[in-house]
Amino acid sequence: MRAEQLLSDGELAAIEQRAAAATPGRWVAWLESRQATGGCSFIQLDADPDEDDELYLTRVTGGREIRGIDARTDADIDFIAAARQDVPRLLDEVRRLRAALAQAQAQSTG
């Protein structure tokens, strides 16, 4: 899909299904560079407060595993963790704006 193409209702629904299928709750990025986590950055998944649920990512560049603090990996982990909260909000905003546009168009033609 090119950037200037509008998302179809089907594409929005597919994005919403992926978001709904992901582990629920707030996701938090824990970065070795920020919190000194003990050697590994990770995403804490907030599915069950009584359970230690974490997602670890491995970056391999040019066949070589990147270990330790890496600014690109930190940025990616921040993005992935924030997406859990951001994607549902963005979907709601797209739908709200589409409804407002449809209402404005109906008023201008009616």
pLDDT in tens, 10-49: 999 999 999 999 999 889 998 888 877 677 888 999 866 6
Q: For residue 106, give both structure tokens.
A: 């109906």
0.85 surpassed by pTM: no
Whole-number Å distance between alpha carbons of 84 and 27: 6
* Tens-place pLDDT, residues 53-86: 999 998 999 999 988 888 999 999 999 999 999 9
Domain ranges (residues) in the chain: 9-109
When computed from its CA atoms, the radius of gyration of the chain, rounded to whole angstroms, is 19
